[in-house]
């Protein structure tokens, strides 16, 4: 099995793009796990595809990437792959089936497996194939706590070169080094995510100090250039102009122009020397600035509405039959001010219930915002068309919101190849214009970078509208502290006095 993967002087930009996404990157990976972190659209997945050979760099080389396997953010589970894995009777496949809780009945209900169950199967197949290099892109999206714990154990069992693209801080803290992607720079630091962030902050503090010194030195040079020019003009004035008639304006103008442009020896040399030094300072300043992470002020206000109804939804005890799953419902009520977190394990029926709930509501479409776990090709196409047909004012508002979520609005205008996180941000931003009275959100933090999750937390904490959401992000749920609806043993029950945080600690 391979033990080293090296990247030397790697640069890449997409055809037609005016800027490099990655420039002159030098990275080294060895057996164990390396994390790759960065904002949505920063180039993390692009780097993975360069390593596997799916994309070709503009310059540089990658050594030791033979047999690299890439596990994408939105993988597709094929029945033949599952069948082959399930009926492989080797000890190795048995180990991973047991490790990740893969059951034989998964094949019979493959079309109805939850996203979390599919993810577990695909992870098991990926590690079972035992590639020399395994690249996992957001592997814990959709996983409940039990499944995530199983995956963390599986990670520790993999012995090859592991590359982890993730926004999950707990997962990243299991890595021995981290690559921070901030276009066009990809910088590798030793240590897990927490340790690497501390080192990154120290480096940026040093860069900031150097930047301030450069600014001060440049300011002094600017002042010196101005002073010397003035002195040279004063010293030469009598000598240069005393033989000219007061009325010879053309002659005086030629002398001033010659002096200013450097054709008059003394002043010109001083000017040339100082301008050269100032130019060097400006280049150094620009270089230092590029080493600093973007410090954009993030934050967006959600212009949600507040329904004047007494309630948005009420239902007595009943039972839902989804064909592959029956779900008993306790008495449920959703009010205009309700903030609800629906919790349950993978495969318990949370997403199925949210879809049913959105259709069951007696509300117009523009008053409800439903965010699915993943976008289908049709979803993406409809969203893009809807955005493109907006008038310039509304389109500007959408782009402004995307910027406050930490993504580059020009990518939305110029590209059709968005990252999953960018699709999610576009969907959020477009929804603002309708002032929805109810938000139904299925795994809203999946695919979002850490800074964007914090923005979303702030939005949801202050939104006046009703909210019903599903999430397996423990920290996210703790900070929101919503009331809880819970699916357990095939029954969905509501307790408006219990928050997820209290329930989790119980």
Per-residue model confidence as pLDDT tens digits over 103-129: 999 999 898 888 888 888 998 998 888
Please name which of 254, 235, 257, 234 lies closest in space to residue 244, comparing C-alpha atoms: 254
Tell me how far apart the alpha carbons of residues 91 and 273 are, in angstroms, rounded to a whole number. 74
Asked if residue 499 has pLDDT above 70, the reply is no
Percentage with pLDDT > 70 across the chain: 84
pLDDT at position 500, please? 46
> How sure is the predictor about 155, in pLDDT bands with cuts at 50, 70 and 90?
confident
User: What pLDDT, in 10s, does the model give residues 8-33?
Assistant: 999 999 888 878 999 999 999 999 99
Whether the Cβ atoms of residue 427 and residue 375 lie closer than 8 Å to each other: yes
Q: What average pLDDT is seen over the chain?
A: 83
Q: Are residues 333 and 415 in the same domain?
A: yes
pLDDT at position 419 is 87
Do residue 212 and residue 186 come from a single domain? Answer: no
Q: Are residues 216 and 174 part of one domain?
A: no
Q: Same domain, yes or no, for 232 and 337?
A: no
Task: Give DSSP secondary structure letters for 174-213.
Answer: T-SEEEEEETTEEEEEES-HHHHHHHHHHHHHHHHHHHHH
Indicate the SS3 state at residue 445: coil
* Domain of residue 415, CATH code: 3.40.50.300
pLDDT of residue 381: 92
In a domain, 117, yes or no: yes
Domain boundary among 163, 191, 219: 191
Instruction: Give the angle subtended at the CA of 204 by the CAs of 198 and 207, to the nearest 5°.
Output: 150
In a domain, 147, yes or no: yes
Give the pLDDT confidence score for residue 254 in this predicted structure.
52
Domain termination site, one of 165, 191, 217: 191
Number of domains in the chain: 3
Asked if 336 contacts 307 with a C-beta cutoff of 8 angstroms, the reply is yes
Rounded to whole angstroms, what are the CA distances from 99 to 94, 103, 160, 259, 357? Answer: 8, 11, 18, 80, 34
Same domain, 355 and 491: yes
Same domain flag for 272 and 338: no
The answer to whether position 391 is within a domain reads yes
Residue 59 has pLDDT above 90, yes or no: yes
- H helices of 292-419, in order, are 350-360, 377-388, 392-404, 409-414
Tell me, what's the pLDDT at 323? 85
Residue 403 pLDDT greater than 60, yes or no: yes
Residue range(s) defining the domain that contains residue 19? 4-191
- Same domain, yes or no: 169 and 258: no
Rounded distance between C-alpha atoms, residue 419 and residue 446, angstroms = 12
What is the pLDDT at residue 238?
52
For residues 83, 85, 90, 95, the Cα torsion angle rounded to the nearest 10 degrees is: -130
265-291 and 193-241 helices cross at what angle (nearest 10)? 170
Q: Are residues 173 and 211 in the same domain?
A: no
* Residue-level length of the chain: 506
Is there a domain that residue 102 lies in?
A: yes
pLDDT band, very low/low/confident/very high, at 293 (cuts 50, 70, 90): low
Asked whether residue 113 is domain-assigned, the answer is yes
Is it the case that residue 86 has pLDDT exceeding 90? Answer: yes
Same domain, yes or no: 156 and 243: no
Largest CA distance in the chain: 107
pLDDT 10s digits, 321-355 = 988 889 999 999 999 999 999 999 988 999 999 99
pLDDT tens sequence across 175-223? 999 999 988 999 999 999 999 989 888 888 887 888 788 888 878 878 8
Pair (217, 342) in one structural domain:
no
- Residues 401, 267, single domain; the answer is no
User: Whole-angstrom Cα distance, residue 438 to residue 468?
Assistant: 8
* pLDDT band of 470, cuts 50, 70, 90: very high
Q: H/E/C letters for each residue in 256-288?
A: HHHHHHCCCHHHHHHHHHHHHHHHHHHHHHHHH
In a domain, 426, yes or no: yes
Q: Pick the last residue of a domain from 291, 322, 356.
A: 291
> Domain check: are 250 and 275 in the same one?
yes
**Per-residue confidence (pLDDT) for residue 506, from 0 to 100:** 44
- Inside any domain, residue 120: yes
Spatial CB neighbours of 74, under 8 Å, sequence gap ≥ 6? 374, 420
Residue 200 included in any domain: no
Quote the pTM value. 0.72
Q: What is the pLDDT of residue 240?
A: 55
Residue 299's pLDDT is 58
């Amino acid at each position: 099995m391979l033990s080293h993967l090296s990247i030397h002087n790697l640069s890449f930009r997409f055809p037609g793009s005016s800027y490099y996404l990655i420039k002159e990157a030098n990275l080294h990976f060895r057996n164990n796990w390396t994390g790759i972190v960065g904002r949505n659209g920063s180039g993390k997945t692009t780097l993975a595809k360069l390593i596997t050979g799916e994309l070709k760099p503009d310059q540089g080389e990658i050594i030791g990437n033979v047999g690299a396997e890439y596990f994408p953010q939105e993988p597709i589970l094929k029945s033949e792959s599952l069948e082959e894995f399930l009926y492989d009777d080797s000890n190795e496949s048995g180990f991973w089936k047991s490790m990740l809780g893969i059951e034989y009945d998964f094949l019979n209900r493959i079309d109805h497996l939850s996203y979390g169950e599919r993810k577990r199967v695909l992870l098991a197949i990926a590690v079972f194939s035992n590639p020399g290099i395994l690249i996992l892109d957001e592997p814990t999206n959709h996983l409940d706590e039990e499944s995530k714990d199983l995956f963390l154990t599986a990670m520790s069992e993999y012995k090859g070169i592991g590359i982890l693209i993730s926004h999950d801080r707990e997962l990243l803290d299991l890595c021995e080094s981290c690559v921070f992607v901030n276009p066009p720079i990809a910088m590798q630091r030793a240590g897990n995510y927490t340790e690497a962030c501390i080192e990154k902050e120290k480096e940026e503090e040093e860069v900031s100090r150097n930047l301030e010194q450069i600014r001060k030195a440049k300011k002094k040079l600017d002042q010196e250039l101005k002073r010397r020019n003035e002195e040279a003009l004063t010293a030469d004035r009598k000598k240069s102009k005393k033989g000219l008639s007061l009325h010879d304006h053309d002659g005086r103008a030629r002398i001033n122009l010659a002096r200013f442009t450097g054709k008059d020896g003394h002043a010109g040399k001083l000017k040339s020397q100082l301008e050269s030094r100032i130019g060097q300072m400006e280049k150094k300043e620009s270089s230092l600035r590029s080493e600093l992470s973007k410090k954009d002020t993030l934050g967006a206000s959600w212009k949600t509405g507040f329904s004047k109804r007494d309630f948005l939804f009420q239902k007595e005890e009943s039972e839902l039959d989804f064909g592959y799953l029956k779900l008993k419902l306790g008495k449920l009520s959703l009010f205009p001010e309700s903030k609800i977190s629906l919790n349950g394990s993978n495969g318990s029926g949370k997403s199925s219930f949210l879809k049913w709930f959105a259709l069951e509501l007696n509300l117009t479409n523009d008053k409800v915002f439903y965010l699915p776990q993943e976008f289908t090709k049709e979803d993406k196409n409809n969203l893009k068309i809807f955005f493109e047909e907006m008038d310039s004012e509304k389109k500007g508002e959408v782009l402004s919101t995307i910027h406050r979520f930490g993504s580059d609005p020009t990518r939305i205008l110029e590209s059709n190849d968005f990252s999953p996180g960018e699709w999610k941000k576009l969907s959020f931003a477009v929804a603002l214009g309708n002032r929805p009275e109810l938000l139904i959100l299925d795994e809203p933090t999946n695919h979002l970078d850490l800074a964007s999750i914090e923005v979303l937390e702030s939005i949801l904490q202050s939104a006046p509208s009703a909210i019903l959401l599903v999430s397996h992000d423990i920290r996210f749920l703790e900070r929101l502290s919503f009331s809880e609806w819970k699916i357990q043993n095939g029954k969905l029950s509501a307790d408006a006095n219990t928050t997820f945080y209290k329930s989790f600690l119980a």
